[in-house]
Amino acid sequence: MQATLSLKEKIEELREKIPEARINALDELLHVGLPARKHEEYKYTPLTRFYEEISGKAGKTEIRPDRYTDPEFILKADTHKLYIINGMFDAETADIPKGITVKTNDTPGLKNPKGHDAFDLLNDVLFTSGCNIMVPANFTVEKPLVIINVIDKASSVSESHISNRIHMGQNAELTIIEVQHYIGENESFDSSVSNYHLEKDARLNSYTVQVDGNNNYHYNSHHVHQESGSVYNNFTMTLSGKMLRNNHNVTLDDSHCETNLLGFYFADDQQHIDNHTTVDHRKPDSNSNELYKGILKGTGKGVFNGKIYVRPHAQNTLAYQSNKNILLSDEATVHTKPQLEIWADDVKCSHGCTAGQLDNEALFYLRSRGLSEDYAKAYLLNAFASEITDEIKPAFLKDYLSDLIHHKLSSNDR
Amino acid sequence: MLKITNLHASVEGKEILKGINLEIKAGEVHAIMGPNGSGKSTLASVLAGREEYETTKGEVNYMGKDLLELAAEDRAREGVFLAFQYPIEIPGVSTTNFLKTAINQIREYRGEEQLDAVTFLSRMKEKMKLVEIDQSLLSRSLNEGFSGGEKKRNEIFQMAMLEPKLAILDETDSGLDIDALKIVANGVNKLKTKDNATIVVTHYQRLLDYIVPDFVHVLYKGRIVKSGTKDLALELEAKGYDWIKEEVKETV
Ligand SMILES: Nc1ncnc2c1ncn2[C@@H]1O[C@H](COP(=O)(O)OP(=O)(O)OP(=O)(O)O)[C@@H](O)[C@H]1O
Ligand SMILES: [Mg+2]
């Protein structure tokens, strides 16, 4: 696993320019290199190749606010908004909810870089900014906070790296919606790393919305650390992009934590969507619940890898995981792998993964009632997706995403 | 209305229907009985257009059309309805939900106007009363967590909504308690006109007390081996199938 010469050189050059705090990540990255083709965690997802390709071509991006408009569904919604444009958090336009603090983030994410995904290391070395959100104890932010990550690649191939942090004080509550928003048709590679910390009894609902862009490669990584009684809910929706890798790592570091991870992905022709999750139960009496569903169409590819660790002390853990896939063509593929490592003995864990065609019996049932084959299929696919979308709390987001899925699934060339 | 001639059908290379002949005229009720595994549901599925079943020989003429040429949805649009022996569960799809689309697709096929929401709802109300089914059941995921009886009632409700010309009821009576049986039978009878026909597949004479058949047929090993009036059903109830199996052996 050696970094290519060019990447090495590029990284080495940074040694003099970056703050001291990032040097560890830099050294580690030089040591391990970006994942090569045979790397266990990346064997289906050749993100390194595309990163190197795009990074080599990336030009200087100009920031042109006149090119920018909010995605329609946010325009009309009653939310707070923060913008990160081509890697820079825009503190001036930020609409910060009263009672919380949002600053420009310059703190690297990794205390100890050993053992991390090399793209996390890369982000740690290269990220230009992001937002650092602090919600004080016992404070509830009423309206959702939307973080719009704008990648303007209209004038050249683009590379950008951002890093966000959220600290939830005791018993604080916040809903955030992270939206990827791409402008222009050029290729791009962007990484986004988020570090969330939930103190005792805090509640964080996060929505990761990846429904925009078509020529983009995206690395997304969440590290969530939960203290006792806290609740973390994430919903990851991926409909667009060329190749995406999402890492979602949650550490339940105390008892009575609750973690709910929901995901929906739809990979059409030439799209590649990879979700890796890790749920780490370290202490007793916590629950985690994970459901990812995907539809693969044309030459679309899906990857799901779900790790659950139940450490020796984590007695009375309840952990549930499921990944279900529907393949709509012979060329579509999915690689799904649950990985459970359980050291405690008094636990309830279950996992399951399925990959198959649409249910023929159900199709026949609907057709026997007079529905055309296309309609019957769309019905079943929408029903498949609705198990996830029904769980979206903000109504405007739920309506928007359900409609979007509906349109994608009803498009004629099935 | 329906004329089946020398129909052969197989599934996964195994022949199940081995030459069915049956003629049904408008206004008639035909009962089909026969031991388990004789091919009754297979016949129903073949008529409804299930693609796993391959028809290897024979013809089915339905109102002047070659039924076997039509896709399942077009058969429904032409007025064929199958009440399933084992109605499946479809998570995330409610009866109300798909039925409205189904009805409008059927109407479009027939060149009729779309049904507006108000008319649809009032028709729903009327038919719900007919089979005494609850609204809440119809807005839940299809058959998910329904009791056996609720599933069957839901089938008859759909039949009432779609007003078919040829209804095939595959063991709709099994799993129903006496009261539900009467309700379902009453529903079927109310929907009967001189222009439509019904095929009732059943194991029990009891249902035929309520839905009185014009003809009773016995299907055995993929063939109709005996036909008669409703007295045949009484005879079967009393004597079982052994005497018919013997008769078949003798003629072979
Ligand atoms: N999809 C299938 N694959 C394989 N065999 C099948 C299939 N469908 C039906 N069969 C077989 O065909 C035969 C007839 O089945 P069918 O369901 O038509 O019987 P039936 O008369 O309806 O029985 P019952 O009274 O138990 O409902 C059985 O032996 C059955 O196992
Ligand atoms: Mg049967």
Residues sharing a CB contact under 8 Å with residue B109, sequence separation 6 or more, in sequence order? A370, B74, B77
Tokens of residue B242, six digits:
């052994």
Partners of A210 in the beta sheet? Answer: A238
**Tokens linked to A248:** 């979602």
The Cα–Cα gap between A261 and A234 comes to: 5
Query: What pLDDT, on a 0 to 100 scale, did the predictor assign at position A5?
Result: 57
SS3 (DSSP) at A4: coil
Predicted local distance difference test score (pLDDT) of residue A108: 82
User: Do residues B221 and B18 make contact, with C-beta atoms less than 8 angstroms apart?
Assistant: yes
Helix%, strand%, coil% for chain A, nearest 5:
25, 40, 35
Which of A:237-296 have CB within 8 Å of B? none
Strand partners, B141: B94
Burial A311-330 (b: 16+ CB within 10 A, else e): beebbebbbbbbbbbbbbee
**How do residues B88-105 score in pLDDT, each as one tens digit?**
999 999 999 899 999 999
Q: Provide the 8-state DSSP code for A306.
A: E
**Residues with Cβ within 6 A of ligand 1?**
B 11-12, 16, 34, 36-42, 52, 85
A258 within 8 A of A285, measured Cβ to Cβ: no
Q: Contact B27/B40 with Cβ under 8 angstroms?
A: no
User: How many whole angstroms from B145 Cα to the centroid of ligand 2?
Assistant: 22
pLDDT of residue A1: 41
User: Which of B14, B42, B202, B203 has most ligand 1 atoms within 8 Å of its beta carbon, as the pocket-test mutant?
Assistant: B42
- For position A75, what pLDDT does the model report? 83
In terms of pLDDT, which residue wins out, A353 or B248?
Answer: A353
pTM assigned to the model? 0.89
Residue B73 is nearest to which of A372, A380, A387, comparing CB atoms? A372
Cβ(A151)–Cβ(A107) under 8 Å? no
**ipTM exceeding cut-off 0.90 for this assembly:** yes
Give tens-digit pLDDT for B33-66. Answer: 999 999 999 999 999 999 999 999 999 999 999 9
A379–B contact, CB cutoff 8 A? yes
Cβ neighbors of B36 (< 8 A, separation 6 or more) are: none
Is A380 an 8 Å CB contact of chain B?
yes
Q: Does B86 touch chain A (CB under 8 A)?
A: no
* Cα angle A63, A65, A66; round to 5: 120
- Tell me the CB-side half-sphere exposure of residue A180, using CA atoms within 13 A: 31
Q: How far apart are CA A204 and CA A394, in angstroms?
A: 14
Chain B hits for A386, Cβ within 8 Å: 92
Average pLDDT per block of 10 residues along chain A, 414 residues long: 65 89 93 94 96 89 76 89 94 94 89 90 95 98 97 93 98 98 95 98 98 95 98 98 98 98 97 98 98 97 98 96 96 96 95 94 97 93 94 96 90 54
How many of the other CB atoms lie within 10 Å of CB of B123? 16
Asked if pLDDT for residue B249 goes beyond 90, the answer is no
At A2 the pLDDT is 45
Q: Does B12 touch chain A (CB under 8 A)?
A: no
Give the mean model confidence (pLDDT) for residues B156-173.
96
- Interchain contact B36–A (C-beta under 8 A): no
Please tell me the distance from the alpha carbon of residue A292 to that of residue A267, in angstroms, as a whole number: 14
Nearest to A380 by CA among A353, A396, A356: A356
Closest by Cβ to B98, choosing from A361, A366, A386: A366
> Tokens in use for B30?
């035909």
Q: For A172-207, b where at least 16 C-beta lie within 10 A, e where not — what string?
A: bbbbbbbbbbbbbebbbbbbbbbbbbbbbbbbbbbb
Across the interface, whether the CB atoms of B88 and A379 are under 8 A apart is answered no
Query: Other CB atoms closer than 10 Å to residue B42's CB: what's the count?
Result: 21
Per-window interface: B 106-125 vs A, CB < 8 A: 106, 109
Give the β-pairing of B29-33 and B215-220: parallel
Task: Please tell me if residue B72 touches chain A, with a CB cutoff of 8 Å.
Answer: yes
What is the secondary structure of B86-133 as a DSSP string? SPPPEEEEEHHHHHHHHHHHHHHHTTPPPPPHHHHHHHHHHHHHHHT-
Q: Round to whole Å and give the CA distance between B61 and B70.
A: 11
Size of interface A-B (CB pairs under 8 A): 71
Note the pLDDT of residue A63: 72
- What is the Å distance from ligand 1's center to B219 Cα? 12
Query: What is the pLDDT averaged over residues B144-156?
Result: 94
Ligand 1 midpoint to CA B50 (Å): 13
Determine contact, residues B221/B191, Cβ cutoff 8 Å.
Answer: no
- Tell me what the mean pLDDT of segment B95-124 comes to: 95
How far is residue A40's CA from residue A19's CA, in Å, rounded to a whole number?
32
B77 contacts on A by Cβ (under 8 Å): 370
Contacts with B109 from chain A: Cβ below 8 Å: 370
The whole-number average pLDDT for the span B213-229 is 95
User: What is the Rg, in whole angstroms, of the alpha carbon atoms belonging to chain B?
Assistant: 18
pLDDT at position B203: 92
- A369 CB near a chain B CB, below 8 Å? yes
- Rounded to an integer, the average pLDDT of B205-213 is 93
Average pLDDT of the segment spanning B141-163: 94
Contact call for A366 and B71, based on CB within 8 A:
no
Ligand 1 pocket: which of B7, B16, B18, B53 to mutate (most atoms <8 Å of CB)?
B16
- Chain B nearest-CA distance from A272, in A, is 27
Nearest ligand to the C-alpha atom of residue B18: 1
How high does pLDDT run on average in chain B? Answer: 94
Whole-angstrom CA distances from B168 to A13, A392, B44, B103 are 78, 42, 7, 18
Residue with tokens 């679309």: A300
Nearest residue to A201 via CA among A173, A176, A223, A224: A173
- How many angstroms separate the CA of residue A383 from the nearest CA in chain B? 4
B63-82 mean pLDDT? 97
Q: B251 to chain A, minimum CA–CA distance in Å?
A: 38
Dig out the tokens for A308 from the structure.
């659950």
Q: Give the HSE-up count for residue A219: Cα atoms under 13 Å, Cβ half-sphere.
A: 27
- Work out whether the CA dihedral A46, A47, A53, A54 comes out positive or negative: positive
